[in-house]
């Protein structure tokens, strides 16, 4: 199923409202003048409100994409799409893409 391609200007949050940013932008493919993101590069999470141990196993510090585009790659890596899935460490909770561009899609 096609989905919108995620770019570095997208708003991505952890499940606890922490801001997530890509650490490795993909400058070979751009959408809306901004670099895209592949599943190979981790995201850094800041401002996660999940308490540290012993109250919980947080806060979220990094996240890694586990699914991406199946037919569109850049530098041999799948692009991140609006419906891609990621897991945060150390909490194991997902990232949520709340805002991204809405012109370019991929499958």
pLDDT value of residue 58? 82
CA dihedral 44, 47, 48, 49 (to 10 degrees): 170
pLDDT value of residue 1? 67
pLDDT value of residue 46? 98
pLDDT value of residue 53? 87
What CATH number does residue 23 fall under?
2.60.200
Domain limits for position 72: 3-106
First-to-final CA distance of the chain: 6
pLDDT value of residue 2? 87
User: How many domains in the chain?
Assistant: 1
Q: What is the pLDDT along the chain (107 residues), one digit of tens a residue?
A: 689 999 999 999 999 999 999 999 999 999 999 999 999 999 999 999 999 988 888 899 999 999 999 999 999 999 999 999 999 999 999 999 999 999 999 99
pLDDT value of residue 32? 94
Residue 85 backbone dihedrals phi, psi, to 5 degrees: -115, 140
pLDDT value of residue 31? 97
């Amino acid at each position: 199923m096609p989905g919108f391609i995620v770019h570095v200007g997208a708003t991505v949050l952890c499940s606890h409202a922490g801001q997530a940013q890509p650490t490795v932008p993909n400058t070979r493919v751009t959408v809306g003048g901004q670099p895209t993101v592949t599943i190979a590069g981790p995201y850094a999470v800041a401002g996660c409100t999940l308490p540290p141990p012993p109250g919980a196993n947080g806060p979220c510090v990094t996240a890694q994409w586990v699914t991406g585009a199946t037919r569109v790659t850049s530098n041999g890596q799948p692009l991140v799409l609006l419906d891609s899935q990621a897991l945060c460490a150390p909490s194991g909770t997902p990232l949520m893409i709340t805002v991204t561009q809405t012109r370019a899609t991929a499958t």
